[in-house]
Structure 1
């Protein structure tokens, strides 16, 4: 499972680098026992631009998967707690 987490971290980072701006506070994920992946995105503000970035990011991340395992992302605006597998955190 540890290799799978590293693999998914790389997939998320790759998709995220083209689809992010200063309103992204953190991006994290959780892998469930059945293999489904839930991405959690915490934003300081949600505008149309962030919605477009998130749609593109999730589409790119989903296309890197061998199966249809990426769930609809959990989006929070303001403060929140990231999932255990943290890929990005704004300093």
Structure 2
């Protein structure tokens, strides 16, 4: 199963290249017991642009499969944990580290 996860990570990453913007917080997937693949996309907001990106992303990802096993994606527009295998996750803003001698006003 580990090789299959790596293979599907590469496939989903390949499909993601041209289908992402700043509103994507994470893209992840799980391979279910029956071999189907569930994807999850977490967004900060959902517009026609994100809808288009998600449609293209899932279509391209499904085209890379040997059979029809990509389920409709779970799309969440709120903070939500990713599925088991994370392909993309927005890094939080780095916290400023101040030493005691710096002015933090």
What TM-score do you get using the length of structure 2 for normalisation?
Answer: 0.86
Runs of 4+ in structure 1 off by over 6 angstroms are none
Residue 27 of structure 1 aligns to a residue whose secondary structure is strand
Residue 61 of structure 1 aligns to a residue whose secondary structure is helix
1:61 aligned to 2:65? no
Shift in Å at residue 78 of structure 1?
1.3
- CA separation in 2, counterparts of 1:81 and 1:14? 22
Alignment of 1:1-91 (within 5 A): 1-91=1-91
- CA separation in 2, counterparts of 1:84 and 1:71? 16
What TM-score do you get using the length of structure 1 for normalisation?
Answer: 0.99
- CA separation in 2, counterparts of 1:63 and 1:69? 10
- CA separation in 1, counterparts of 2:83 and 2:39? 8
- Bigger fraction of residues in strand: 1
Structure index of larger Rg: 2
Structure 1 gaps of 5+ residues are none
Structure 2 gaps of 5+ residues are 92-105
- Bigger fraction of residues in helix: 1
